[in-house]
Amino acid sequence: MKWIYRFLSICLALIFLVPVIWMLAVSVKVEGFKLDSVFDWFLPPYSLDSYKKVLAQTPLLTWTGNSFIVATATTALVVLLSSMAAFALSVLRFRFKRLVYMIVLAGLMVPGEATIIPLYQVVKDLHLLDSYSGLILPAIASPFAVVVLKSFYDALPGELLESAELDGAGLWTIYSRIVLPLTKPAMSSIAILTFIGSWNSFLWPYLCVSSSELFTLPIGVPTLMSGYTRDYVIPMTVNSLSSIPIILLFLIFEKQIVKGVSLTGLKG
C-alpha cells in the first residue's frame, strides 16, 4: 500500500508543479515566440534576454524592495504587538479581561473586505495614503496572531511564571526572558505567515497607493503584464522573478513553517 500512496503523492505534486514548470519554460524563450504545439514551449532554443530586459527596463526591483520593506515592517510590528496583547490576556488579571478577549475573537469573524471602506477613510483623514505608513499601519492589528499566541501562553506551566514572580522578576522580565523563548515555534509561525500574507496582499495596496514608485509586487506585476496580451514570454519572466523571494523563504524556513503550524494546531 505504501507504494500506492507514494505514487499518488508524486502524481499530485506533479499536478501542482506543471504550471510552475510551464512558467519557467516559457520565460526562457525568445520574445515573440509562437506556439505551434504545447511541447514547443519545452524545446530549444532558450534565451535569458527576457530576464535582462525585465531587470533593465522595468521597476521590478524597486517594487520588490517595497514589498520587502512593507512585509518586514508589518511582520515585526504584528509579532511585537500581538505577543504583548496575548501576554496581557493570558497572564495579567484585570477587569473586563474576558470581554476584551471576546472582542478579539469577534475580529476573526469579520472579513477584511467588510472594513476596507471605513479603514480607507481613516487613513485618508490621517493623510497616510500613498505612503509606507499607510501600507503598514492598518495591517498590524492581527486578531489571529493574538489568539494563537494566547493559546500557547495559556499552555505554559503556571508554576514557572509564579516562581519567577516570587524571585522578583517584573512583568517585562517574565515576558522577554521566559515567555518569548518558550514560544519561539509559535512566534516563528506567526512571523512567516504574516510576512507571506503581507507580501501577497493586493486589495489594500491597490486602494492605498497611486504612485508607481510605491507599488508592491502584487500591484506592479499586473501593470507590466497588461501590455502583453499575446506574448507570454515577458509576463512569465515577470512572474518567475517575482516568485523567487517567497520560494526562497519557504526553502529556508521550511522546518519552522511545518513545526510552527503543526504546534499551532495542537495548541488550538
pLDDT tens, residue by residue, 189-237:
889 889 989 999 999 999 999 998 999 999 988 888 776 656 778 888 8
Q: How far apart are CA 115 and CA 122, in angstroms?
A: 11
pLDDT at residue 135 is higher than 90: yes
> Is the pTM of the predicted complex or chain greater than 0.95?
no
Once rounded to an integer, what is the mean pLDDT over residues 74-79? 96
Confidence of residue 3 (pLDDT cuts 50, 70, 90): confident
Identify the pLDDT of residue 229. 59
Confidence of residue 266 (pLDDT cuts 50, 70, 90): very low
Structural contact between residues 225 and 93, judged by C-beta atoms closer than 8 angstroms: no
Identify the pLDDT of residue 227. 66
Structural contact between residues 179 and 156, judged by C-beta atoms closer than 8 angstroms: yes
Decide: residue 119, CB within 10 A, 0-12 exposed, 13-18 middle, 19+ buried: middle
pLDDT tens, residue by residue, 21-72:
888 888 888 877 666 666 667 777 788 888 998 889 889 999 999 999 999 9
pLDDT at residue 10 is higher than 70: yes
Identify the pLDDT of residue 268. 41
Could you give the domains of the chain? 48-267 (1.10.3720.10)
User: Nearest 5°: CA angle at 79, between 239 and 149?
Assistant: 115
247 versus 228: the higher-pLDDT residue is 247
Identify the pLDDT of residue 137. 94
SS3 of 27-91:
HCCCCCCCCCCHHHHHCCCCCCHHHHHHHHHCCHHHHHHHHHHHHHHHHHHHHHHHHHHHHHHHH
Once rounded to an integer, what is the mean pLDDT over residues 114-138? 93
pLDDT tens, residue by residue, 144-178:
999 989 988 888 888 888 888 888 888 888 888 88
